[in-house]
Structure 1
Amino acid sequence: MSIIYLIRHAQASFGQANYDRLSDLGQCQAKILADHFQALDLEFDAIYSGGQLRHEQTLAAYLKKFSKPENAMPPVHKTDAFNEYNSENILKTLIPEMIRDDAAFETDVTMMLADKRSFQTVYEKVMRKWINSENPANNLGTWKTYSNRVRTGLDEIMASAGAGKKIAVFTSGGPISVCVQKALSLSDGNTLQLTWQIMNTSITRLKYSGNQMALFGFNDVTHLEIAKDEQLLTYR
């Protein structure tokens, strides 16, 4: 049996002009995660990373901790298969359309950046519309295309890594939820709901042999909980 460790990136810069970089808290979370792996003496046989900066920065903390002359680090495979969907474009495209259909929706939209609950309300409604759209506007791409991309990336890892391996994938909540969907045969709607629960630097583990796969652990943030600082426990 081999194990794939799906690692969600540390906290990014929510509400800033450039979301795709770690916040100061995110840098701290990434270091705690790397320290945790070191304490477990956990070294990976293969490492994969999505191509977004927040993935790379979270991975960098691990590489900094383990990159020593006596450690032969495996190469890092960067792949767009584990990139997050472009939520900014989805929001910008679908929100105006949804306001035209429901004027009351604009109230939550005007408050979404100042109020976390309003943001989540808007975000969930928009994402539900997107995953149920077969032909979304402005070439957004479909949920099906996105999830198939992630599944293909996961299948390629399973086919190439071999038996008895430990593989790390530094990615985002969306790809992690799709991988769990594949393992548990979840509906698209339930998969979307699962996405909201995936915490920053959480570890989700999949065991596999051949093309058979099972969920072995989900959304583990023990490394953050040990610090006994609730500010470290974040979703975005």
Structure 2
Amino acid sequence: MARLLLIRHGQASFGAEDYDALSPLGHEQALVLGRSLAARGIKPALVVRGTMRRHEETLSGILDGLGSAVPPVVDADWNEFDFQHVVEIHRPSYRDRTAMMTELNRSERPDRAFQEVFDAATLRWSSGDHDAEYAESFAAFRTRVATALSSVSALLKEHRDILVVSSGGPIAMAAALITAGPEFPARLWASFNRVSVNTGATKVISGRAGLSLSTFNEHTHTESDPRLLTYR
């Protein structure tokens, strides 16, 4: 059977001017994952990534850890949905980054405060009741990730082990599509997306019956050091 590994990017720079850049810890997470894959004898024949900076930097760290120099296939269909846009539609005051951080920092746990806003914003977006307000509707996002899965499935006919670096949203979408088909309830996607760990690995098996989800969000490589376990 052919094997597909979907890897969420390392920790990005939440609250910084450029969220898309990996934090120092994000770079470390990618390197640790690469070394873990190498120790397990996993050597992908092909690597694919989205076009975002955090995808590129994560893949670079993974390949350094693997001791590999496989040239990547770049596919924008694996990009994250514009969560900042989705959040700002729900909470217009967050269009001002300073105002957003000021509000969040009033909380004892700014990360949890943001997660609450994020959950409410994505619930509204995924409901399908307000599609005209968004640059990319949830339905359009689902179609885009389905296209990405179809493209990588075709590549699996030539390469038995493929590693894809993407983001939590598309990986959650892929997991939902594989397990429940295109008409899955939006809450299934949300449940996958909510627990996605930075550099978590989701394994998909390709066989005669098509794609099957084998493991979701595996992150044993982070367990030896609590610093490495992050969600945003």
Task: Choose the corresponding residue for 1:76, options 67, 72, 77.
Answer: 72
Task: Choose the corresponding residue for 2:172, options 157, 171, 177.
Answer: 177
Which deviates the most, 126-135 or 12-21? 126-135
Give the TM-score normalised by the residue count of structure 2: 0.87
Distance across 1 between alignment mates of 2:197 and 2:216: 10
In percent, how many aligned pairs have the same letter? Answer: 30
Tell me which residue corresponds to 2:54. Answer: 54
Q: Which runs of 4+ in 1 moved over 4 A?
A: none
Tell me which residue corresponds to 2:219. Answer: 221
Which deviates the most, 12-21 or 87-96? 87-96
Total equivalences in the alignment: 220
Structure 1 position 66, deviation (Å): 4.2
State how 1:36-185 maps to structure 2 within 5 Å. 36-66=36-66, 73-96=69-92, 111-113=103-105, 114=107, 115-162=110-157, 165-185=160-180
| CA displacement, residues 153-198 of structure 1 (integer Å, 9 cap, x when unaligned) | 1111112321670110001001111111112104211211210101
Structure 1 position 40, deviation (Å): 1.7
Larger radius of gyration: 1
> 1:83/1:65 Cα in 2 relative to 1: closer, same or farther (>3 Å)?
same
* 8 Å contact from structure 1 (residues 158, 211) kept in 2: no
Tell me which residue corresponds to 1:104. Answer: none
Query: Which structure 1 segments of 5+ residues have no match?
Result: 98-107
Structure 1 position 129, deviation (Å): 0.3
Tell me which residue corresponds to 2:97. Answer: none
Query: Which structure 2 segments of 5+ residues have no match?
Result: 94-99
Which deviates the most, 168-177 or 205-214? 205-214
Structure 1 position 205, deviation (Å): 0.3
Tell me which residue corresponds to 2:33. Answer: 33
RMSD: 2.2
Structure 1 position 67, deviation (Å): 5.0
Amino acid of the structure 2 residue aligned with 1:207: I
Structure 1 position 41, deviation (Å): 2.5
